[in-house]
Amino acid sequence: MKQFIKKHKYGLIFILLTITAITFRIILFNFQSRDFIKFLNPWLNYFRNNGGLKAIARYPGDYNAPYVLILALLSYLPFKNIYLIKIISIIFDFLLALASGYLGYYLSKNKKIGLLTYALVLFIPQFIMNGAMWGQCDSIYTFFIIISLIYFLKEKYLLSFIFFGISFAFKLQSVFILPLYIILYFSQKKFPFWYFFLIPLVEVILCIPNIIMGMPFINCFAMYLKQIYQYKKYLVRNYPNIYQIINFNYNILNKLGVLFVGILCLCLLIYILKKHIEWNEEKIINLGLLIILLVTYFLPCMHERYIFVGEVLGIIYYIVYRKNLGIVLMINLNALVSYILYLLNWPIKSTNIYLLMATIYGLLLISFTYKTLKIINSKQSK
């Protein structure tokens, strides 16, 4: 028995972690968030009451085509809406954990690191809350982003951009890491520029089933515009970024914020091109994390879930390289506090909490930016 346990210890730990993670999520199955009550449940009922797939043409919500197709297919199943919606997110929770665990293993060549990464992505509280409690689907697009990064690091760029396109088809927020791919294109020139056109092409291909069912072709991209317009009136919602500190005129700050992020990414590109960086895996992951953090900190109209990819990538980055624990803890603490305040609707004044977190986060981000530039400038990096 001891020999069997010793021989298969990683497999047994993997099974135990998986069963425990499933149990935690089942406990939260019956929790109904405001988003479920106001949006997800009515949308699924709409498909149930209007012929399933036939109702796609008149879908009233603002989710993207692949997820709408999933909702339409779920409407044929005789189970509670809340279970159907959450089970899809939970399936991708585990796929995301597997992909993250593999990326951790690929970067470190260490099974323990891979298993630890798998465990953390399954058990970090807000990752559990996102799907099993909230019923959100951020694990879906994040899973495809992680797969895209894996193929990018393996220099299988065609597959990388195809998976990026799948991620983009599910959620607009996937573009927050797109500057990394653009910077690496100009810095490395290892793949043709036309690969970037694969991203919207894959989006259109994944819209084809919906178009066949009557969805207007323009809706392939109109949903993104609808989402942007819907939240445009808010400089920030439930997220500790710079607009918790500076919040005086929406019209001015909204335009300046978008312009500043564009200039910031351009400056980063120019800096990297001037330095002639010798790239390796650590530098790419580090820069990708920095870009996501900078974009979500300075871009207006951000929500608490928009940095989901950054939270996952931060976990992978720290577990593999053991650097910058402060910023990794902060982005996950920000998310956890934001989730708790929103989901549990705590009767406390959150303005001061977000102001404090945004200030600390901003200071840590300055330090992390300096350290990242120092790392990518180094001739060698572990």
Task: Locate all alpha helices (DSSP H) within 171-249, ordered by sequence.
Answer: 178-188, 198-212, 219-230
pLDDT digits (tens, 9 = 90+) for 124-151: 999 999 999 999 989 999 999 999 999 9
DSSP E strands, 26-166: none
| pLDDT for 381 | 44
Of 188, 148, 128, the closest CA to residue 311 belongs to 128
- Tell the residue number behind the tokens 């499933």, with chain if given: 22
247 vs 40, more confident: 40
Q: Per-residue confidence at 69, pLDDT binned at 50, 70, 90?
A: very high
| pLDDT for 348 | 59
Of 363, 357, 366, 369, the closest CA to residue 244 belongs to 357
Task: Say if residue 339's pLDDT is above 50.
Answer: yes
pLDDT digits (tens, 9 = 90+) for 259-279: 999 999 999 999 999 988 889
Three-state secondary-structure class, residue 62: coil
How far is it, in rounded angstroms, from Cα 112 to Cα 298? 36
Helix, strand, coil in percent for the chain, rounding step 5: 75, 0, 20
* Residue 364: CB atoms within 10 Å: 18
249 vs 300, more confident: 300
pLDDT digits (tens, 9 = 90+) for 303-317: 889 999 999 999 999
CB within 8 Å of 140: residues ≥ 6 apart: 67, 88, 89, 92, 170, 171
Q: What sign does the CA torsion over 51, 54, 57, 62 have?
A: positive
Tell me the residue type at 269: L
How does the average pLDDT of the chain come out, rounded?
90
Q: Per-residue confidence at 52, pLDDT binned at 50, 70, 90?
A: confident
| pLDDT for 382 | 45
CA angle 21, 97, 343 (to 5 degrees): 60
| pLDDT for 228 | 67
- Tell the residue number behind the tokens 């793949």, with chain if given: 191
Token pair of 344, please? 């549990």
Task: Say if residue 1's pLDDT is above 60.
Answer: yes
C-alpha dist (Å) from residue 224 to 16, 64, 171, 219:
40, 8, 8, 9
| pLDDT for 232 | 64
Q: In 41-61, which positions are buried (b, 16+ CB within 10 angstroms) versus exposed (e)? A: bebbebbbebebbebbeebee
Of 203, 205, 99, 109, the closest CA to residue 151 belongs to 99
Helix (H) or strand (E) holding 116: helix 111-123
How far is it, in rounded angstroms, from Cα 358 to Cα 129? 22
Task: Say if residue 75's pLDDT is above 80.
Answer: yes
| pLDDT for 345 | 75
Task: Say if residue 347's pLDDT is above 60.
Answer: no
The answer to whether 308 touches 177, Cβ cutoff 8 Å, is: no
* Residue 121: CB atoms within 10 Å: 27
pLDDT digits (tens, 9 = 90+) for 178-237: 999 999 999 998 999 999 999 999 999 999 999 999 888 887 777 777 666 666 667 888
How far is it, in rounded angstroms, from Cα 130 to Cα 300? 22
N- to C-terminal Cα distance for the chain?
Answer: 39
HEC profile of 287-350:
HHHHHHHHHHHHCCCEECCCCHHHHHHHHHHHHHHCCCHHHHHHHHHHHHHHHHHHHCCCCCCC
Q: Crossing angle of helices 281-298/250-275, nearest 10°?
A: 160
| pLDDT for 103 | 98
Read off the pLDDT of each residue in 40-60 and give the average, rounded to a whole number. 90
Q: Per-residue confidence at 328, pLDDT binned at 50, 70, 90?
A: very high
| pLDDT for 151 | 98
The answer to whether 137 touches 270, Cβ cutoff 8 Å, is: no
